[in-house]
Structure 1
């Protein structure tokens, strides 16, 4: 998840919301914060690789966990695809002689190499790109306000409030722009490679969601000021270049493309590492072939799983951006819903963490998060449901075949806090 990922769905989100994209982001921020809270709660008690798969498997058993992980694979498999596709689009916007497919393929090869090398360098590079992204966003927002046709209370509030059509378009757009938040859950997939995961994973999940959400809201609000008539957008898939050029001319547009391409490579690497680690966890637990749990002898990364993801990502050369985004949101929203339910089942029901703020943290907030996500899920297109349900059907077949083959399932519980320590953890951490 990069700060500039808001531009990936700016055009389609603005169209769906009928020019009220900031309002859609406010809805998405609320929904994602409740869900991020559930991820953080589960990360404290299940600090192992696997994210939604690991949490659901421990709450509802390996079979439901597998199907949740299978749905989540749509998120993680298509996320790097979207990054590769956007990279190709933006490279083509600067260098028209380079076909979109060539830029997409080049980004794919780079990410394949980086995902095997490991996570250490990603953090250092991400800090630089994050700082550059913040500067680009600040510059864009400033220039958009200064160069906007009109800036008054009405023009600022109008896109942040529902239109005459009500909340329908807002919720429909919120279900799509939730794509921009994807990645906060990826933090939890690296639990076994993080220092003090019980403390740092929950904090990182919440801060990443809140910080990115506010940035997205400001960006979309500035976009509505500099281009109040959203029908002027000529290329919906690469709307960011048009916004930047309108606000700050060619210079800002070029800087934006360069920073965004770097960010897309990093986000693609993070996404590919996340899905490879989910496959690693499922292979280790016996729900997928054991070969996926093979680590590189030098880099200690799941290189077999990473290689499989790269092969699957080649399909990005034959998909549209909208198709990839729809598939991501279907799988991601299922995973988010199940993590909210798993927080209730694992923490409130099974572990009986109900004292003090326990009921609020482990029951009320996860159920609110589930309700928000369930509503957003109903706003997705029929195409999303058709393809997503077909994917789940394949997952059921895989699960049945694995069970009939006699595969042994073992859930790793490394570093899970002992019951005696859970109440101390509950009262000592926010």
Structure 2
């Protein structure tokens, strides 16, 4: 394969935003509603508001870094160029924990929905089907994947709007129009704010993906201008969708009592729309998982490409593009193979540790902005102390708070993964005597 083949610049602002929203999967607000309502003691809207605040602060830092370094690689690239090559490697290694397992979780959840609807068909059939179809679409090219995402996102957003509308109608039928105006989804007597913060650690999972759009920088037109706007718009749009949806849904079902916490959205969908809407809702959730899987697999494939091109990972394998499709085919195939681990895992186990890498990466991006400001970088210093110091410091503290609220299994597995990364870094650098290979930023 020709190492001089370049990623095609085909994406505009709204294509990148839709890609980020597809990665986040807006309907995840319903898929995780039961668990979030239980953790926040019925204050899901406040939990999403807290999470959105932390994410938006971090999104500002991502926008700054995307303007400074408009290349593929995301947090890995930013940290190695702004802080230290070895730190950058460890950030990239931590991100791999999140990126590698997120597609697997997405495919596993989608397969679980389908298996519940068609119990006669073994679950492995659905998992293999998800992986195979998603990989084929991504191999053909990001432009084609973008067209698929656009269509599927329209369907998903239509059902999400229908869910919110039916929930609002249900509330008005029960309590009158005034029932839609209430502070209870944000504050409840006897519920401490710490419960909402605990819920925010779960709610932050819904935002994973706003940063993934930065991995498409080298496929975006006018990236220095487009990417910062796309990152902020994606985070803001996701936050508004999640807060409004959680607010209305919590009004339709006050409290956190469900027959099944994992299937809470199905219970609410039946209450507000009947059997037909439940069927439409479940079908759309499966479509949403497919859409999210497309974006997740594409992003990790391009992160591996950036690390392979740098020589941190094998260049011949990870740093190559297909001569016809101009996509990292081998990387995409590897992600699909890793996804097959879903055949032997459950949703609870697989989701317990993916947030570790994400929160660590968010923190590193904020620190990268601070480092560039203190170094008087000509692209960051003029932004002033608010954007250069205050915002990233606040964002980093919020990210670390969310990291601290992960369960112990997530933190233990994350630390083990980092330890393995340090050992590999020692091997690459001859026991830390040399720096990891530098990335070639030439397009």
Tell me the TM-score normalised to structure 2 length.
0.88
For 1:355 and 1:43, the matched residues in 2 are separated by 15
What SS class does the counterpart of residue 158 from structure 1 fall into? coil
**1:268-347 equivalences in 2 (<5 Å):** 268-290=293-315, 291-347=317-373
Deviations, residues 63-87 of structure 1 (Å, cap 9, x unaligned): 1111101111122112111210111
Instruction: Determine whether 1:247 maps to 2:272.
Output: yes
For 1:298 and 1:171, the matched residues in 2 are separated by 48
Instruction: Determine whether 1:38 maps to 2:61.
Output: yes
Deviations, residues 88-135 of structure 1 (Å, cap 9, x unaligned): 122123323233333222111211222211211222222222222222
Q: In the alignment, which residue of structure 1 is the partner of 2:14?
A: none
Deviations, residues 133-173 of structure 1 (Å, cap 9, x unaligned): 22212211121122234465698311212662422221121
For 1:198 and 1:190, the matched residues in 2 are separated by 12
Match of 1:121 among 144, 166, 173: 144
Instruction: Determine whether 1:410 maps to 2:438.
Output: yes
Q: In the alignment, which residue of structure 2 is the partner of 1:26?
A: 49
For 1:390 and 1:304, the matched residues in 2 are separated by 27
**1:368-379 equivalences in 2 (<5 Å):** 368-379=394-405
- Structure 1 residues 163 and 324, CA, compared in 2 at 3 Å: closer, same or farther? farther
For 2:31 and 2:144, the matched residues in 1 are separated by 25
Deviations, residues 260-285 of structure 1 (Å, cap 9, x unaligned): 22221121111111111111111111
**1:159-308 equivalences in 2 (<5 Å):** 159-161=185-187, 164-234=190-260, 236-290=261-315, 291-308=317-334
- Structure 1 residues 100 and 167, CA, compared in 2 at 3 Å: closer, same or farther? farther
Q: In the alignment, which residue of structure 2 is the partner of 1:3?
A: 26
1:408, distance to aligned residue in structure 2 (A): 6.2
Match of 2:114 among 88, 91, 102: 91
What SS class does the counterpart of residue 228 from structure 1 fall into? coil
For 1:289 and 1:18, the matched residues in 2 are separated by 48
**1:31-110 equivalences in 2 (<5 Å):** 31-110=54-133
Structure 1 portions without partners, runs of 5+: 416-430
Contact 2:65 2:78 in 1 (8 A): yes
For 1:374 and 1:51, the matched residues in 2 are separated by 19
Contact 1:175 1:329 in 2 (8 A): no
Poorly superposed stretches of 4+, deviation over 4 Å? 151-155, 352-357, 405-408
Contact 2:138 2:145 in 1 (8 A): no
Deviations, residues 34-63 of structure 1 (Å, cap 9, x unaligned): 111111110001001000000011111211
1:33, distance to aligned residue in structure 2 (A): 0.4
- Structure 1 residues 100 and 12, CA, compared in 2 at 3 Å: closer, same or farther? farther
What SS class does the counterpart of residue 322 from structure 2 fall into? coil
How many residue pairs end up in the alignment? 414
For 1:36 and 1:295, the matched residues in 2 are separated by 29
Question: Cα RMSD over matched residues?
Answer: 2.1
Segment of structure 1 superposing worse, 127-136 or 195-204: 127-136
- Structure 1 residues 339 and 247, CA, compared in 2 at 3 Å: closer, same or farther? same
What SS class does the counterpart of residue 228 from structure 2 fall into? helix
Contact 1:348 1:358 in 2 (8 A): no
Instruction: Determine whether 1:134 maps to 2:157.
Output: yes
Contact 2:215 2:303 in 1 (8 A): yes
Contact 2:127 2:340 in 1 (8 A): no
1:237, distance to aligned residue in structure 2 (A): 3.1
Tell me the TM-score normalised to structure 1 length.
0.91
Q: In the alignment, which residue of structure 2 is the partner of 1:422?
A: none
What SS class does the counterpart of residue 47 from structure 1 fall into? coil
Contact 1:17 1:170 in 2 (8 A): yes
1:233, distance to aligned residue in structure 2 (A): 3.9
1:376, distance to aligned residue in structure 2 (A): 1.1
Segment of structure 1 superposing worse, 375-384 or 91-100: 91-100
Segment of structure 1 superposing worse, 242-251 or 173-182: 242-251
Segment of structure 1 superposing worse, 382-391 or 247-256: 247-256
Segment of structure 1 superposing worse, 29-38 or 6-15: 6-15
Contact 2:34 2:258 in 1 (8 A): no
Structure 2 portions without partners, runs of 5+: 1-23
